[in-house]
Amino acid sequence: MTLKELSDLLGLSPTTVSRALNGYPEVSEATRKKVAAAARAHGYAPNTRARALATGRAMAIGHVIPISAKHEMVNPIFADFTAGAGEVYSRNGYDMLMSVVSDDDEEQAYRSFATKRNVDGLIIHAPSLNDQRIPFLNDLGLPYVVHGRSSNATAPYAWVDVNNTRAFQRATELLLDLGHRRIALLNGLEHMDFAARRRAGYEAALAARGVTPDPSLMFSGEMTEAQGHDLTRTLLARPDRPTAILVSSMIMAIGVRRGIEELGLTLGRDVSLITYDDDLSYFRNGSDIPVYTATRSSVREAGRRAAQMLIDIINGKDSPTELLLEAELTLGMSTGPARRD
Amino acid sequence: MTLKELSDLLGLSPTTVSRALNGYPEVSEATRKKVAAAARAHGYAPNTRARALATGRAMAIGHVIPISAKHEMVNPIFADFTAGAGEVYSRNGYDMLMSVVSDDDEEQAYRSFATKRNVDGLIIHAPSLNDQRIPFLNDLGLPYVVHGRSSNATAPYAWVDVNNTRAFQRATELLLDLGHRRIALLNGLEHMDFAARRRAGYEAALAARGVTPDPSLMFSGEMTEAQGHDLTRTLLARPDRPTAILVSSMIMAIGVRRGIEELGLTLGRDVSLITYDDDLSYFRNGSDIPVYTATRSSVREAGRRAAQMLIDIINGKDSPTELLLEAELTLGMSTGPARRD
DNA sequence: CGAACTTCCCAAAGCGCTTTGAATGCCTCA
DNA sequence: TGAGGCATTCAAAGCGCTTTGGGAAGTTCG
């Protein structure tokens, strides 16, 4: 069913039918009602491609999903972020266009979005400290919102981020309050902006209490369960082993727990653990009492906010283009006072 | 840069330029070279929307991501499936259009894909035993491939699935071989086709050995970590507690492990566990020796195969439209002989 | 040498929609 | 009564591409 067919059926011109459906005022109420009824009856919906061509707007947002070429790893938080963003998109009539790309050809993917003109805007994931995509996209002239920040960026850009520094600072402070002094940090890859900020928060908290950060207690890498496990085993085998561990992801924390328990130790008593928790829908941190003490911020909510911000930008609204969300620190069963050895 | 601009630049007609770029034979090699060079130099790429309108093909595949309305849960395997499918799409010039939808309005989402004509085909996730989407889509006339099967479907349809029955049958047999008789099953929601098949495999294996399936040992629900933990605690509190547990997802298995260890028991010694493992990129089952004994099948590979099948269907190739993948049973550290109590 | 092909290129139509500019009919008011 | 205004509607152009149907050269061959 095309517009032409529908208008023939109604004995009206395509112009009038189009206007009736799109809510233009130059159409009588009676006609509008008739048109709307006929459209519903025949299940008419405008062909997106034709409309996009005519209006110059694709009504779609692009997401580029980079896959770590080395580890073939998909970012696990991506599904929940997507779900949040997707809610907002469908509420606003936008589609979501996804492009899966090995992280080497990421720039190519953006360029292709721009030249093929099949999206009205982009969401950028996982920015690094000095992310080249930002100047690149500023040149490209396609609106975008970054999920996260890029500390060394010089030009302004729109972003939604969590206060990673503060989250890790508070978590470290809590551990210090509990008497811990040897606190390990299992962080994400440090060229990632969020990881750098988390370490900064951790170091700031230590420094504020006069504890010198010990580089041999800090690690950064892919945030997998296996990695968490292996590092924990290594750490706990040391004579001067840490009494507490700060972890950058729930999935890694699960590996840490496994490592601890393999040694017959008890989480929260022998070793304390605080993890960052993205509040993933398939990995909720316990029901009543959280399993893990955690700094939590919903990545799904971040998805919603980023999507809304991008749509606002596309529509020329001048709402704020920077949004810093605070993570909450929830007390669970994985922390306790430092034990005297 | 439009085709018109490029052709003016070259002193050629849009027709010729279009043909040169699309590999039609009615164009001299010399011209083709010139055109290709100019296109590259000016970063020209055809406007997707215009091309789609002209050719009647959207060059995009739709995925509908249903979100469990009750639990606000995103299927965790979805990200990896997507990654696999996405690889194949980009290799073939297709985009992936994603629609996030609460599971009540899912049908509406398909209908809208069909009438708006912005995709050439669909991938259907998580079919139930008697999935209404199949007859619905057969009427709609949009090609689709189901990830999974729907046992009660009457009409034929294209699918890629894992042999869930056989996987769980083999896993159960292994546990029986190890001397286990009281084997619990923590399954997914049983209106889901995969869950029903897994239970069938489990029951068949028991029956073959003369063990009567005990309904009080079978559970079905959302496959979360918390659920795995809670059910395990309940199970192990029973006087006639099971000596082995069969679990439908890695994430649930992690909760099971937590439950076991909280009770001071040891996984693989006091209680055996076999889990289904979708080989998620962010949750690899150990590095050398797998942590869990598992029936494993890569959901990412399933994504690749489903995508390829769909593209073949769209292009009218008559390649097979049913694909049953076998899961491998890998021995890990979570199984051992049943202990005499 | 001229007919019959080839080879290479182009003009124009058309995909299904939106939007501009104009036309029609009716009403109001001096 | 006729100019001007308003409410409705429509014809046609245009979005950027592909594709059909020629057409003008250049080749081949009897």
Separation in Å, CA of B155 to nearest CA in chain A: 24
Does A53 fall in a domain? Answer: no
- B282 and A83 within 8 Å at the Cβ level: the answer is no
* B292 and B174 housed in the same domain: yes
Residues A138 and A284 in one domain: no
H/E element, A161: strand A159-162
Render A124-145 in DSSP notation, one character per residue: E-S-BTT-THHHHHHHHT--EE
Q: How far apart are CA A25 and CA A21, in angstroms?
A: 11
Nearest-nucleotide field for B31 (CA, C1'): C8
| B275 in Cβ contact with B294 (< 8 Å) | yes
Residues A206 and A140 in one domain: no
The answer for residues whose C-beta is within 8 angstroms of residue B223's C-beta and 6 or more apart is: A282, B188, B248, B249, B251, B252
Residues 206-245 of chain A with CB under 8 A from chain B are 223-226, 230
- Spell out which residues of chain B touch residue A111, defining contact as CB-CB under 8 Å: 43
Q: Are residues A275 and A151 in the same domain?
A: no
Verify whether the Cβ–Cβ distance A116 to B46 is below 8 Å. yes
Distance in Å, residue B32 CA to nucleotide D29 C1': 31
Distances (CA, A) of B341 to B211, B271, B298: 19, 12, 37
Rounded Cα gap, residues B69 and B67, in angstroms: 6
- CA quadruple B23, B29, B32, B33: dihedral sign: positive
Taking the C-alpha atoms of residue B163 and residue B326, their distance in angstroms, rounded to an integer, is 5
**Are residues B192 and B219 located together in one domain of the fold?**
yes
Do A160 and A311 touch, CB atoms closer than 8 A?
A: no
* A1 in B contact zone (CB under 8 Å): yes
As a whole number of angstroms, the distance between CA B101 and CA B83 comes to 19
Write out the H or E segment, with its range, that includes residue B63.
Answer: strand B60-67
Q: So what's the pLDDT on residue A286? A: 73
* Smallest CA–CA distance from A267 into chain B, residue: B262
Residue B341 has pLDDT above 70, yes or no: no
The pair of structure tokens assigned to B254 is 């992690």
Which CATH number characterizes residue B204's domain?
A: 3.40.50.2300
* Structural contact between residues B109 and B101, judged by C-beta atoms closer than 8 angstroms: yes
Residue A163: count of CB within 10 angstroms of its CB: 17
Measuring CA to CA, how many Å separate B43 from each of A98, A260, B7? 22, 55, 14
Q: What is the CATH number of the domain that holds B9?
A: 1.10.260
Q: How many domains does chain A have?
A: 3
User: Is B128 in contact with B191 (CB distance < 8 Å)?
Assistant: yes
Whether A148 and A244 share a structural domain: no
Q: Do B49 and A99 touch (CB under 8 A)?
A: no
Compute the distance between CA of residue A175 and CA of residue A169 in angstroms, rounded to an integer.
Answer: 10
Per-residue pLDDT of chain A (341 residues; tens, 9 = 90+): 899 999 999 999 999 999 999 999 999 999 999 999 999 999 999 999 999 999 999 999 999 888 877 777 888 899 999 999 999 999 999 999 999 888 788 888 888 898 898 999 999 999 999 999 999 999 888 999 999 999 999 999 999 999 999 999 999 999 999 999 999 999 999 999 999 999 999 999 999 999 999 999 999 999 999 999 999 999 999 999 999 999 999 999 999 999 999 999 999 999 999 999 999 988 888 767 899 999 999 999 999 999 999 999 999 998 999 999 999 999 999 999 998 65
- Looking at every residue in chain B, the average pLDDT score rounds to 94
Query: Distance between CA B168 and CA B275 in Å, rounded?
Result: 9
Task: Give the span between the Cα atoms of A294 and A278, in whole angstroms.
Answer: 9
Residue whose tokens read 């209490």: A209
User: Contact, A193 vs A149, CB < 8 A?
Assistant: yes
Tell me the angle at which helices A225-237 and A250-262 cross, rounded to the nearest 10 degrees.
Answer: 40
A341 located within any domain: no
Q: What is the pLDDT of residue B195?
A: 98
Question: Helices A133-140 and A106-116 meet at what angle, rounded to 10?
Answer: 10
Concatenated DSSP letters of A48-61: HHHHHHHHS---EE
DSSP notation for B221-256: ----HHHHHHHHHHHHHSTT--SEEEES-HHHHHHH
Could you tell me if B126 and B180 lie in one domain?
no
Q: First CA to last CA across chain B, in angstroms?
A: 77
Contact A86 B72 (CB under 8 A): no
> Is A50 within 8 Å of B53 when comparing Cβ atoms?
yes
Residue A188 lies in a domain: yes
Band (pLDDT 50/70/90 cuts) for residue B54 is very high
Rg of chain A over Cα atoms, rounded to whole angstroms, equals 25
Any B CB within 8 A of A98 CB:
yes
**Which among B96, B223, B284 has CB closest to A98?**
B96
Q: Which residues of A in 53-92 have their CB below 7 Å from strand C's atoms?
A: 53-55
The string of pLDDT tens digits covering residues B202-225 is 999 999 999 999 999 999 999 999
Mark whether B246 and B173 lie in a shared domain: yes
How high is the pLDDT of residue A199? 98
At A324, list the tokens.
């810093």
DSSP B254-278: HHHHHHHHHTT--BTTTBEEEEEE-
Residue A307 counted as domain residue: yes
Taking CA atoms, A270 is separated from A194, A257, A294, B237, B255, in Å, by 29, 11, 18, 26, 21
User: A-chain residues within 8 Å CB-CB of B50?
Assistant: 53
Q: Which residues neighbour A177 within 8 Å (Cβ) at sequence distance 6 or greater?
A: none
Which has the minimum average pLDDT: A68-72, A260-264, B226-230, B333-337? A68-72
Residue A186 and residue A134 in one domain: no
For residues A109 and A101, is the Cβ–Cβ distance under 8 A?
A: yes
Specify the amino acid at residue A324. Answer: L
Tell me whether strands B218-220 and B183-187 are parallel, antiparallel or unpaired: parallel
**How many Å apart are CA B105 and CA B188, to the nearest integer?**
22
CA atoms of A116 and B111, how far apart (whole Å): 26
Asked if B45's CB is within 8 angstroms of A282's CB, the reply is: no
- Report which residue type is found at A162: V
Strand D positions with any atom < 7 Å from protein CB?
7-12, 14-22
- Cβ(B145)–Cβ(B123) below 8 Å: yes
pLDDT on residue A340: 67
Nearest-CA distance A234 → chain B (Å) = 15
pLDDT at position B140 is 87
CA A143 → CA A159, A278, A301, distances in Å?
Answer: 12, 26, 21
A143 is a domain residue: yes
Distance from CA(A40) to C1'(C27), angstroms, rounded: 35
Looking at the structure, do residues B168 and B277 belong to the same domain, yes or no?
yes
Would an 8 Å CB–CB cutoff place B204 in contact with chain A? no
pLDDT digits (tens, 9 = 90+) for B154-196: 999 999 999 999 999 999 999 999 999 999 999 999 999 999 9
B202 and B156 part of one domain: no
| pLDDT for position B282 | 84
Q: How far is A206 from chain B (nearest CA, A)?
A: 31
Give the nucleotide nearest to A29 (CA→C1').
D8
The contacts of residue A23 (CB under 8 Å, 6+ apart) are none
Mutate: best of A61, A116, A334, partner B, most B CBs <10 A = A116
- Chain A residues 21 to 40 with C-beta below 7 Å from nucleic strand C: 21-22
Chain B residues touching A1 at Cβ < 8 A = 115
The conformation of residue A118, written as its DSSP 8-state character, comes to: -
Quote the pLDDT of residue B235. Answer: 97
CA dist A44 and A21 (Å) reads 10
Strand C positions closer than 7 A to protein CB? 7-12, 14-21
To which H or E segment does residue A225 belong?
helix A225-237
The structure tokens 């991938």 sit at B123
CA B297 from chain centre, in angstroms, equals: 10
| Residue A70 resides in a domain | yes
Enumerate the residues of chain A whose CB falls inside 8 A of the CB of residue B1.
115
Q: Please indicate, yes or no, whether residues A224 and A209 belong to a single structural domain of this protein.
A: yes
Q: A143 forms bridges with which residues in the sheet? A: none
A vs B: CB pairs below 8 A: 168
B5 C-beta neighbours (distance < 10 Å), count = 12
With b meaning 16 or more CB within 10 Å and e meaning fewer, what string describes A169-183?
Answer: bbbbbbbbeeebebb
Q: Which domain holds residue B94?
A: 60-162+300-325
Question: Does the beta carbon of B82 lie under 8 angstroms from any beta carbon of chain A?
Answer: yes
User: B320 in a domain, yes or no?
Assistant: yes
Query: Binning pLDDT at 50, 70 and 90, where does residue B74 land?
Result: confident
Going by pLDDT thresholds of 50, 70 and 90, the confidence category of residue B103 is confident
A340 is a domain residue: no
